[in-house]
Chains A and B, each alone.
Chain A
Amino acid sequence: MLKLMLRQLLHHPVRMFLSMAMISVALLLGLVMKGLATGVMEEKIHRTEGIGADLMIQPPHSSYILGLGENVMPDSMAKKILEVKGVAATTPTATNVSFTNRFEAIFGIDLPSFDRVTGGFQFLQGGPFTGPYTALVDDVYISTHHVKVGSTLDLLNHQFTISGVVEHGKGARVFVPLQTLQNLVSPGKCAVIFVKCTSPGLAGAVLGRLRELDGGALGGYQITRMSDLTSLISPSSFLGLKQFLLVVMVFAGIINFLVIFLALYVQMLGQTREIGVLRALGASRRYVLNLFLGEACLLCLFGGGLSLLLYLLTKTVVLSIYPSLHFLLPAGTLLRVAAIALSSAVLGGAYPAYRASASEPITALAYE
């Protein structure tokens, strides 16, 4: 049957290619959206985890995506938390975003305490801050922005000079002195306090102690174990993103359904006589039904394969233009996309397949 399906499809290569192309574009839309959203988030998680802290404390209802939080927490809390048993180091960090050229998260850090929590930056060029309006950037930043040590950055309407280039993976791509950022956006306040425990195994116990600190003074704050970040940061972390991705996939499914329906309906009309011949040669109704449904699935399979190739091509092109972006397609997403594509193919092929199988051989053979 597979041989017949393939021959039948290949008999009209233009129609087959157009159907595949339409299916693949519909699926590609969903794959790129999901791949980009997941990739960017995974990379954010990776960078946040790369800080090396065991806990992070944020104001209530803050986003786990650092940079989106507000600087409303007194940085003096970091010293108080340092006194808690099991805490080895703390560092208050102010955050902001720059919209100059591209969306970029900026960390305002206190370098000595940040080094104690993170283990210190690995400098690739230059060195630490040399003044209040100096900045550190990571290696990804210099490759995407084509800057170097000594270049100036326009951040928050101020000029910062790059004093050092560090290896990526410590939360943000741009770091400025904590006090400078605080003075610019919110004096004395920070958005997050990173906590390093004396042992990672103590994170749970320290978290409990922090909740009880000063009779529950931190009770309203958001205290997160860094090891829980992966499960906490997902498309659902962004209001509406999950629903948006779902709508995109539903539309991809609908387009898939319509394309398959149209392709097979046209085929059914154009090959009525051939269907009659197959029936005359001994094809049962079920065989004809399966033949058409099989062709629907094959079209979908080829279209899906093409969409994956186009996804890789899109990823390559996008990453060559925006190297700081990330794509990631988890196996679960691929399976879900395949399920949506296949089910819409079967639904789209069902009516043409039924019509083809229900035709009387003698009527089909008489068809001109």
Chain B
Amino acid sequence: MSRGNEHDTDDKRPMLEARGLTKIYDHGSQSPPAVNGLSLSVQAGEFVAIMGASGSGKSTLLYLIAGLATPTSGEVIIDGVPIASLPDAARARLRNTKIGFVFQRFNLLGFLSAKGNIEVPRLLGWRQHGPRRTMDELLAAVGMEKKHLRRVSELSSGEQQRVALARALINDPDILLADEPTGNLDSRNAAAVLDLILRLKRDLGLTTLMVTHNPEVAMRADRIVEMQDGMILRELTSEQMASSAESVFKLTGHLPR
């Protein structure tokens, strides 16, 4: 299932960039920006964990990058394409073909089976070429091959998130955006889903941005970005994590392993 060397030649080019990104939800009042002049660059294949207190703008940042919200100012560039100025259909196409999104609350469609949910991105009709993976391979990859015909309401939380993950990956995206994917799971399921995401990320060479409150999850990223009041408070690379136990502890409250 690996993409092989597809991204090798592009390794130096950012897969996604945020430049001076600002988002103010309510222009009428004096509410503070949810994201405030934030700039971030993520290389292809990189795994970035975004941490921060509730209301720090983590989820909004993810929605802006996915093109699900329009920035008040600034720009998001996906694989060299600025998305803010794209028409709705082009942004929809980009979301469908370039980005896989995993939500904290799974956001599965209750009127479809597990398999039906996974198929939805394909039904939207943007994909020009055939899928890299068959449905069976994808179901096997997330361990849902025996329960794919069940309604989502009949699945456990962990299984629902596996279905959501398969749905995010069905169109062979380059980028995986995950908004606290383990936030609604118990520790056992959380660990299993996280292992799955990391394995698939590694196998598929996905550029991954994951919002998380869990320091142990963040520790497995290539880079940790901490947000506060819509801005980046500090960043920590894997090298820094490896060399400075103090800074890791400061950021995550945990000592590096």
Contacts and interface: CB of A to CB of B under 8 A. Distances in A.
A110 to B, nearest CB: 73
B109 to A, nearest CB: 6
A158 interface: no
Contacts of B69: 360-362
Contacts of B96: 281-283
A277 interface: yes
B11 to A, nearest CB: 27
A287 B124 contact: yes
Contacts of A280: 66, 68, 95, 101, 103, 107
A1 B101 contact: no
B246 interface: no
Interface residues of A, number: 25
A11 interface: yes
B107 A7 contact: no
A282 B107 contact: no
Nearest to B97: A282
Nearest to A11: B111
A361 B68 contact: yes
Q: Tell me if A's interface is mostly helix, strand, loop or mixed.
A: helix
A4 B120 contact: yes
A273 B93 contact: no
Contact of A282 (B63, B112, B116, B121): B121
Contact of B116 (A7, A283, A286, A365): A7
A350 to B, nearest CB: 18
Interface in A1-55: 1, 3-4, 7-8, 10-11
Contacts of B111: 7-8, 10-11, 274
Interface string B57-82: 00000010010111000000000000
Given A360-B69, A361-B68, A283 B92 contact: yes
Given A10-B111, A11-B110, A361-B69, A282 B93 contact: yes
A281 B124 contact: yes
Q: Which of B88, B109, B125 has the most CB of A within 10 A?
A: B109
Contact of B123 (A1, A10, A277, A365): A1
Contacts of B110: 11, 274
B33 to A, nearest CB: 15
A196 interface: no
Interface in A29-85: none
Interface of A: 1, 3-4, 7-8, 10-11, 273-274, 276-287, 360-362, 365
Closest 9 CB pairs of A and B: A282-B96, A11-B111, A284-B92, A362-B69, A361-B68, A284-B89, A282-B95, A277-B107, A282-B124
